Chains A and B, each alone.
Chain A
Amino acid sequence: MLNIVWPIFIIISFSFAIFSGNLEKLNSSIFESTSDAINLSLSLLGTICLWNGIMQIANSTSVVEKLTKILKPIIRFLFPELRNNSKIEKEISMNMIANILGLGNAATPLGLKAMKSMQTENKKKDVLTNSMMMFIVLNTASIQIIPTTVIAIRNSLGSENPTSIVFPVWIATISAAIVRSNAYKGLN
């Protein structure tokens, strides 16, 4: 995707700058952008390392199993077709918990595992089942308890209160997730 988008951005903006006389601005923005990227990466490095470390501790405890139990009724409700298949239900909830805790690296392999398990139960092998669609739609909702990347961006730009967006993000995520799953069920 970026192999197409990136050159388009460069060609359009660089040639536009030449014709509109914004060359000086463009030149200074090139160097400004690289230092912005470094500032953000440093901030990201701090936030992500801290958070990954904390979540590694969480992963080593029985927290994950406890959360799996809490999630069970929600999963039963969202995936009625999986009833009695506790293996898939567990894989789905592990993926959701990794998402909630903000462990993107762990969430994806767990999610792929759940997809593969659902595929073995799939009668038409080349078509997505309802459960698979629900699962993907849930994964496109960013159900993260602490939005670490955004906090890092805000921190790198010297925000007075980088964490002030946590609550608004929760409200937005939850309401969007409810709309998501209901819209999806409605389409069904």
Chain B
Amino acid sequence: MEAIRFISNLAMPMIILLIVIYGLKEKNKVFDTFLEGAKEGIETTLSIFPTLIGLFVAIGALRSSGVLELIIHVINPILNVIHFPSELMPLAMLRPISGSSSIAVATDIMKNHGTDSLLGMMASTIMGSTETTLYTIAIYTSCVKIKKTRYILLAALAADVIGILISVIICRIMS
């Protein structure tokens, strides 16, 4: 477990270090280039801020009103069969549909169960290892104006289910 933590903590500093050294080696104006990219980051974040506010309120309301609890209570017996924590089900369902609502749900889970708890780790891993599948399929097929998409939706969603299950299993093994 120590080794895993070490690799996890090493990844980001190592990549930054390598890129900066590589940039210097090729005699680039490293800091100017950095600023250019960072400025773009401001735009990206600002553009999703209104979406986040709207969705955080909606997801927060689902929890505080008791609706989420009710849903989890209802699906609990089904999910117990496959040892899938029912608290993660809202995340699993929203993840392929909408990026920003899954951010809101994942934040909600981590806030209520702790970022470093087993559920928090599972939610983090699911978020990091899956994509907004429906959105991806929609833009990639519409840009070439293809309507006959064969079994792509089924294949991609099945893959998401597998990705989510793998995330849960890996966190269980590592905890």
Identify the A interface with B (CB < 8 A).
1-2, 5-6, 9-10, 12-14, 16-17, 20, 22, 25-26, 28-30, 32-34, 36-38, 40-41, 44-45, 48-63, 105, 108, 111-112, 115-116, 118-119, 122, 125-128, 132-133, 135-137, 139-142, 144-147, 149-151, 153-154, 156-169, 171-173, 175-176, 179-180, 183-184, 187
Contacts and interface: CB of A to CB of B under 8 A. Distances in A.
Interface of B: 4-5, 7-9, 11-12, 15-16, 19-20, 22-23, 25-26, 28, 30, 33-42, 44-45, 48-49, 51-67, 70, 97-98, 100-101, 103-104, 106-107, 110-111, 115-116, 120-121, 124-131, 133-134, 136-137, 139-141, 143-152, 155-156, 158-160, 162-163, 166-167, 170-171, 174
Contacts of A135: 140
A163 B130 CA distance: 17
Given A33-B59, A168-B124, A176-B167, 4 more contacts: A1-B98, A9-B61, A36-B111, A112-B143
B125 A176 contact: no
B61 A169 contact: no
A86 to B, nearest CB: 20
A140 B128 contact: no
Q: Ordered nearest first, which 3 A-B pairs have the shortest CB separation?
A: A56-B37, A147-B128, A33-B60
A146 B57 contact: no
A163 B12 CA distance: 8
Contacts of B41: 45, 48-53
A140 B131 CA distance: 5
A158 B107 CA distance: 12
> DSSP majority for the B interface?
helix
A57 B140 contact: no
Contacts of A165: 8, 121, 124-125, 128
B37 A154 contact: no
Interface of A is mostly: helix
A45 B42 contact: yes
Contacts of A30: 57, 60-61
A141 to B, nearest CB: 7
Given A17-B66, A57-B19, A112-B143, A171 B152 contact: no
A22 to B, nearest CB: 5
Contacts of B152: 128, 133, 136-137
Contacts of B9: 161, 163-164, 166
B64 to A, nearest CB: 4
Given A36-B56, A40-B103, A153-B127, A145 B149 contact: no
A111 B140 contact: yes
A9 to B, nearest CB: 4
A153 B100 CA distance: 12
Contact of B159 (A17, A105, A141, A171): A141
Contacts of B19: 54-55, 57-58, 61, 63
B5 A28 contact: no
A12 B44 contact: no
B93 to A, nearest CB: 10
Contacts of B35: 53
Contacts of B111: 36, 157
